[in-house]
Amino acid sequence: MKSKCINKLQLTLPALSVNESVARAIVSAFCAQLNPTIEELADIKCAVSEAVTNCIVHAYRETAGDIYISVRIFDTRTVRIEIKDKGCGIADIELVKTPLYTTDTTGERSGMGFAVMESFMDKMTVRSAVGKYTKVTLFKTLSPLEL
């Protein structure tokens, strides 16, 4: 049986560091309607934080731009979160997903963003086109409600 979307959220924020916490708070508040465990909600917050930070730090590289967030909740208690930018794109997705790899030359970034996202979510996909966009899609199926 195919799962059915029961609610959705669309959000656009400027790619400013102050908006990382805003995105995390809004997405987690939206997901709270499914009554997730504290750990599940913390996982979602952390993954969203990493994806949004990637947009802010890497996608626009000191230029203005927006972050597009789409959240869908399904009747199977699955949450799908898409975080997209229209920035510089990624030439080699597998390379940037390698733990400790970073394009940051200042030494301030650890290169663990994608590894962190993958570790907290059930599934993660990354699509990108150089000079056009990057879209990270995160999936998390929440545990069944206890009666």
3-class secondary structure, 86: coil
The band of 116, judged by pLDDT with boundaries at 50, 70 and 90, is confident
- CATH code at 5-141: 3.30.565.10
**Per-residue pLDDT at 106:** 61
Catalytic residue among 72, 80, 109, 127: 109
Q: Is the pLDDT of residue 108 over 70?
A: no
Q: Is the pLDDT of residue 107 over 60?
A: no
Q: Among 6, 32, 28, 23, which Cα is nearest to 85's?
A: 23
**Which amino acid, residue 69?**
I
Q: Are 55 and 87 in contact (CB under 8 A)?
A: yes
Q: How far apart are CA 5 and CA 42, in angstroms?
A: 22
> What's the pTM?
0.90
Q: Among 40, 142, 19, 3, which Cα is nearest to 83's?
A: 19
**Per-residue pLDDT at 83:** 98
Ordered by start, the domain boundaries in the chain are: 5-141
Q: Is 109 annotated in the active site?
A: yes
Catalytic residue among 19, 20, 24, 54: 54
pLDDT in tens, 21-73: 999 999 999 999 999 999 999 999 999 999 999 999 889 877 889 999 999 99
Q: Among 63, 53, 59, 61, which Cα is nearest to 112's?
A: 53
Catalytic residue among 50, 82, 118, 146: 50
pLDDT in tens, 61-105: 778 899 999 999 999 999 999 999 999 998 888 888 776 666 665
Q: Is the pLDDT of residue 142 over 70?
A: yes
